[in-house]
Structure 1
Amino acid sequence: MNKNKSIYILGIESSCDDTSAAVIYNGKILSNVIANQEVHAKYGGVVPELASRAHQQNIVPVIQQAIQKANIDKKDLNAIAFTRGPGLMGSLLVGTSFAKSLSLALNIPLIAVNHMQGHVLAHFIEEENQPKPTFPFLCLTISGGHTQIVKISDYFTMEVLGETLDDAVGEAFDKSAKILGLPYPGGPLIDKHAQLGNPNAFTFTKPKVDELNFSFSGLKTGILYFIQKKVKENPDFIKENLNDICASIQKTIVEILFDKLKLAVQKTGITQIAIAGGVSANSEIRKELKASEKKLGWTTYIPKFEYTTDNAGMIAIAGYLKYLKNNFSETNITATSRLKVSDN
């Protein structure tokens, strides 16, 4: 590994509905530009065809902006890192095609990155006052599409210890918000209302799932039936109790996550715990994780907000770590909508 050389890597992320580009210099982020797609809000979820079209419009200006903000010339770049998968196929193809073209045009290496590994490796971005986990550690990876407990033994040695058998936790938050009539994406709104409510106001049944796996579909159905019953009794029930409902839903989801995390610590003996993924921005999850340092003796790692949701900074750090190992990709590599966190 040559850490003395000046290494500039451009990261490109286009797995879902955000087009992002970042420039990293020896592990430090110089720019991290994200173009959001507002178009999906009126549909209550991401529309794949619209997402890929928006990526085509956004990718050139986003990459130009990232290079300008980093105050470098594209000729200074040493490699192009891009999200190969998992994600929406149409969206991934835009980033993959552009990354290949740019690496050929600049005659520099191409580095394929697993999106899920990027979320975990965001913890290794060089940031002031941001300690990095040491191996091995456990990472609770939570997003709109994933809920996993992963054992990280090395930068690219990851093993899934438990995962959701149906819906992801982000989906559980968003669908619960939809039941309450909140706009998409609803997860952050549940968090916002929950901070003003009583988490013990209502009780929801937690699913019983073996080992370290999760399930959220039953909880979602339980919330739906509960709301339907209460609204039948009182049409203003949601309006009158919104903060308490949100706080109670959030408490239940956080308890489900932490029950499994405690079990994982018990089974592995590993007490270094990190969180990653879009749902790791949730204030209650962050608060609970921090509290577990005193309560349970864990050492915890919480990423900066800007590295929780889909962003190219995490793709750039993964690309940098692969660059140090000379782990490059051929230009005939293809995007793939399905990848496990353990796939390199």
Structure 2
Amino acid sequence: MRHVLQAFTDPVAPLDTSALRRLAKARAPRFALAWTIRRAMPQGCRYFNVGHTNLTDRHLTALKDCTITILLHDTIPLDLPDLQKEGTPEIFEAKLSAAVKHADRLIYISDQTRTDVARHATGPIPPGLVAPIGVDLPDPAPNDIPANLPMDGPVFVTLGTIEPRKNHAFLLDLWEQLGEDAPTLLICGHRGWRNEDVFVRLDTSPMMNRTVFECPDLSDGAVAAILERATAFLWPSLAEGYGLPPLEAAARGTPVLCAPLPVTQELLGDVAIYADLSDFDTWRAEIRRLAQMKRADRPDPVTPPDWDSHFALVLDAAGGSQTSGQV
């Protein structure tokens, strides 16, 4: 307890998160969760869950005196179960079931998510609405771009965790087909899971550090500067509930070449260039065309969804913008 209090009162002391967790569990043990919630939260308060956490029958039943609003991001664990970490689809299925069973209102970040939830849910679905999440655009920091990255010629970029759903294998295949004259490809993002074949290629391919560069530790400012400078943004993802990276690129006026996912078409419309993932010829042709494009011919930046609009929709649906008593 002393260490926890010190962490809150001493600004230079590191936060002892393990002690804080023990204290929290001692104050609210599982068997007393409902009692603890009733004691701490007034009857009739509004509970918002925005992170897919604590979506269990036990937790949500304990909130039965509250108005429960749950934001759902996507149903990807159920759409692509073979590409998930072991056990993730089963865990997510239970969370979705609890959300549909107990929520008074559901918030979806896209029309596609709403459609997907309706496809997977069993039983009646609570009332809901679509409220696209906001897109924050960090300030570019060109000086943060590593000196070893060639930024003078045509530069193509993809951004996201290197995991199977993002389909980096497709881009590596494509760059092998483009050969020695391929433009620069920057793969921005950390390595994820269940993608050993791609990791081996990133470690051993002769393309690496010649035409293809893995960039795992970039600052937000460096990523922003690269997106702004890039010839085009590439997005061969297999599934998304939203897809922030192509929106970020389009908001900077960077051309986007991507797979024709329904949610990408929903958010970007005819601003993006769509090519089926089975059509390598079109991808190669579009990359060569974009490599020759003059900056004056780039599309105008799109205006992405903003957080003010998101919260206006959510709070209006929840009964107004008053925040007293909300969680």
Which bracket does the TM-score occupy, shorter chain normalised?
under 0.3
Q: Which has the higher contact order (CA 8 A, sep 6+)?
A: 1
Larger C-alpha radius of gyration, 1 or 2?
A: 2
**Which has the larger strand fraction?**
1
TM-score, length-scaled by structure 1:
0.26
TM, length-normalised to structure 2:
0.27
